[in-house]
Structure 1
Amino acid sequence: MAEATDDRLRLLIERIERLEEEKKGIADDIRDVYAEGKAVGYDTKLMRQIYRLRKMKPEERAEMETLLDTYKAALGMA
């Protein structure tokens, strides 16, 4: 039984290792896309901000924008 458990553990660890390697490859690809955007003149900080906004639910985004406007007004930034 221990050998079967050991094999199962080894397979799980190997699978995690493969997935981590894929994750690293995807992260590299994302970095390349941002670099491409920068190369054609886009601001990568703004690209990242837009990405974060787009993945939010519309009601969450509206709430965050309302709070941001409130904070800005309180600081005289409006």
Structure 2
Amino acid sequence: MSDIGHNSEATTGGIAADRLRSIIERIERLEEERKALASDIKDIFTEAKSAGFDVKVIRQIIRLRKQEPAEVEEQETLLDIYKRALGM
């Protein structure tokens, strides 16, 4: 006896087509959202630049804020040591 008709999801080659379609569509929606967010972020950086802010520095600050304070302190200490070693 076949499972066709007894199973709520159509299967092809052992693959639940409805489930696969759902997963793919969810990923596609999230990718579209990511594109929209990236565009929004780009617009904010453009706004910051037009307001006279240095975008490179803003990116550095954002990167630093994602790190743990101890990690930031260690990097700043190493940067200072390297700069002194180079006479900067």
- Shared fold by TM > 0.5? yes
Indicate whether 1:40 and 2:51 are aligned: yes
Partners of 1:7 and 1:39 lie apart in 2 by 48
Match of 1:2 among 8, 11, 26: 11
Superposed, 1:1-78 pairs within 5 Å as 2=11, 5-77=16-88
- By how many angstroms is 1:71 displaced? 1.4
Q: Distance in 2 between matches of 1:2 and 1:56?
A: 46
2: CA distance between counterparts of 1:16 and 1:54? 29
Supply the AA of the counterpart residue of 1:42: F
Could you state the TM-score of these two structures normalised by the residue count of structure 1?
0.89
Larger radius of gyration: 2
SS of residue matched to 2:16: helix
* RMSD across aligned positions (CA): 1.4
Number of residue pairs matched by the alignment: 77
Larger RCO (CA under 8 A, 6+ residues apart)? 1
State the 4+ residue runs in structure 1 displaced beyond 4 angstroms. Answer: none
Q: Secondary structure at the match of 1:41?
A: coil
Structure with the higher helix share, 1 or 2: 1
Gap regions ≥5 residues in structure 2 = 1-9
Give the fraction of aligned pairs with identical amino acids, expressed as a percent. Answer: 58
